[in-house]
Amino acid sequence: MNDKKAIEALKAAFPNTLPILAGFIVLGMGYGIYLRSSGLPVWYPTLTSIVVFGGSLEFLLVSMLLAPFQPIAVFFLSLLVQARHIFYGLTLLKRYRGRGWKSIYLIYSMCDETFSVNCSTPVPPGIDEGWFMFFISLLDQIYWVLSVTAGSVLGGVLSQYSEGVEFVMTAMFCVIFIRAMEKKENRISGIIGVSATLLSLLVFGKSVFLIPSMVLILVFLFLFRKEIEKGRTPQ
């Protein structure tokens, strides 16, 4: 019975991860090429993509690995870069609770893209929510690890073609956001997210707007939680 639930959830989850696959192929290969071009061994990119799995943190990790060893500085920089995951965790706390062993992997494998899909994609009728979110997370990490490994193996051959790969992430989030906004029940959350981000950007500037915008988003999501749950605009 559990195997059947898992297979059905995998089939339902896979199409929702295709935009992430497209983005990760280019960005992951770019990271693998970048790390190899820095002189690190071929197995380093694969190891960091499995253990760290932090996207932007992994790119920063390259300079950390090449610099003199400063564990305290690395710890605080990593905490600052990944601080947004605190808000991701608070948002998904209720949905991740009570999933057994799957909860451990769901927490470990959370990244920006997985968070976006798990938050914005309704679970199809008859599909187990825990397995659905698990396979979204697992597929995303598999895409990333394989793409990074491919970039690492190809290494110097493709290094001259890696310029501009960072824009793929922006394009991918635009696709996810547009797909989410097509559903009426997601529009209040989308408007809150965009408005809070723009306001924080104007007030705090581009260097420090991320954390304030997330705090503001959480506040407004809490204030309008009833309207969001009912899928209607505030009165």
pLDDT along the chain (235 residues), means of 10: 83 92 85 79 88 79 76 75 78 86 91 86 90 94 93 71 58 68 72 86 82 80 71 45
CB within 8 Å of 169: residues ≥ 6 apart: 23, 27, 55
On whether the CB atoms of residues 172 and 145 are closer than 8 A, the answer is no
Q: What angle do CA 123, 52, 141 make, to 5 degrees?
A: 35
CA 209 to chain centre: 19
Q: Where are the domains of the chain?
A: 2-165, 183-235
Phi first, then psi: what are they for 122, rounded to 5°?
-70, 140
For tokens 């790969």, what's the residue?
165
pLDDT at 235: 42
Distance CA 193, CA 195 (A): 6
Q: Rounded to 10 degrees, what is the CA torsion of 32, 52, 99, 184?
A: -60
User: According to the 3-state scheme, what is the secondary structure of 88-113?
Assistant: HHHHHHHHHCCCCHHHHHHHHCCCHH
Distance CA 18, CA 25 (A): 11
pLDDT at 45: 86
pLDDT at 171: 66
